[in-house]
Structure 1
């Protein structure tokens, strides 16, 4: 295992730096915004801006890489991300932070796609699964470490903004110094909603609702935690533990989804999420232990949904179309991620902080009812036609290249006009 991973150390290190900086950046903004007295509505728009930038990055990065190459594109993404963090420190206003957060989302998606395409180029079919697993584990650990580092200082100062910028710059060094051959052109994400709907209505509807729910919680969890009186270390745990719980939950949930109708498993996980929503709404757990336990239950459910949805969509996809299907599902998730933080932020401002879980609860209830309707009206797919479940990074950390790295398929990349002239 070590022998297989060692040649990829530079790429994995660059990815770890990227995710660490993203973890710091993603948590310091809502925490600092709460200290500055920003409204929940404006803080929710930070998540909306990030999702818009992230979707744009998934769509536009292949063209940028085709024009300037992988190394230059990655360097530009890391530099712009660092600039956006430092400008957020200089321009402390939500109306500056929202477009700056969009720039961060764009750069984050672009940089991740470059790293993943490079890893995919270096991965042999026999080692691809191990490399993808190591990549996923390293990214999860780095992102969590980036969030937890907030316990080491005062979020009211400049330290964490500067730290995120430094680590974003450090992320470009391993790839800039790597002697690896330049990989093939990136995979382009395509959104064909009618085709995806014919392929699997449950996957399309569910991933849209999951985008609304997960992005709302991911953006505003720190704000909610601060407003119920948790200190900074507990706020960091409130944001991090749900992600870790979701990653762990993928193992048993995936095993169940391979054994039973994935729609039934999705319903079961959704019921757990609704139970967590109801706990926050009805009992308002404000003590540290109760709040963290409920948040972990919430995360174990909601962050295990995305890979089940991807697996269900893949079960119904035409042979050889997994990457195209997963790319389209990702973009629908992104559209939901644009809507969720906006609605939740304005709801928290107008109706109070617990309304965050009104928004997530409505999304989960809609998903539950639609899945039940489809089970009643449409027979389950035979087990012989089901693809194997694959643990998947969380939707907000997934790009079209993630699917390429996670599978043995090698789709034909789009060739730009410049490439055609070069040929």
Structure 2
């Protein structure tokens, strides 16, 4: 955004009026950081003072850092692609005075939210739909896509006023900044630029060593500080990582299986079921038990039931859910022919097999028809159903053919690079 013309001071308020000030060389009548005047002060067309006339070419603005309270930390959280809106709902529901600053997306990699909150930073690790937590150390806009953009990035990071607060938050959360602080840079770039992704990381690293407090040494691994640098087109965000890999893998599995559900996605699905202490909660395609473990972690329940058609999966469930307390049943189940009475279940959350896990499309249609019929039968009126499906068109067809089910929301996400949809359903009160 171009800098705005400051108000002219009256000659009586100082020894020299603005009109008498010398002009910058080569730019008659203009002052530093200000576009030249393009028209009369009072435009007959009614445009604001200093506005460019219609049809004028708009010049690229100077690199601009955001105007924020530098003493207040700016946090960033990342999650799986598409889960960002559900993470935002968790932030709004659980944190004190949350204020969303920006929502960004790295295609097929992450959703990122930037926000302020009055909640203690140590409590932010409890955000279950988040996979990583950061504090922002630098942020700037209007980065040029040509080679000059690298100089702009260097200057923005070198002179960022967010650095002292970010380093303070980092140390408060157990981070180390010894006399010689080692750091590594993780760089991601979206959009088209004339420079390589690696060059962005080098510009940031040079800026850190040039002007950040203390002494800094760039390393490839085992660093004291991990900085994630993301260039979102013309916006640069440099964030210090506060979390470890334990945040994204908070559900510990004794037995793992290929394509097991990410805990953040399981957490988002469980939140959509509106957990209550009266939940009789079923996952009949439980796999490694991530959804059941997540439901057990978020609060009290009446009963949990985990099942799978595979004997191998049932054995894995028994080991992975061994530490879950309360009323938990683990059974071998066929999701299309369940041994429950009508209305016995009031919450059902499940990850449906993806197309690659089913032999052909006919089998997929048969599977989805069967599960929808059972959902309508065993879930109590008013009960919630949340399902993750890759073949959303097939599932929607079967839902539409089941009058007892009503769609309350759909949330497109990406799972291991494949598009999928979380569907939130309600069992109608007939």
TM-score (norm 1): 0.23
Larger Rg: 2
- Structure that is richer in strand per residue: 2
TM-score (norm 2): 0.22
- Structure that is richer in helix per residue: 1
Q: Which has the higher contact order (CA 8 A, sep 6+)?
A: 1
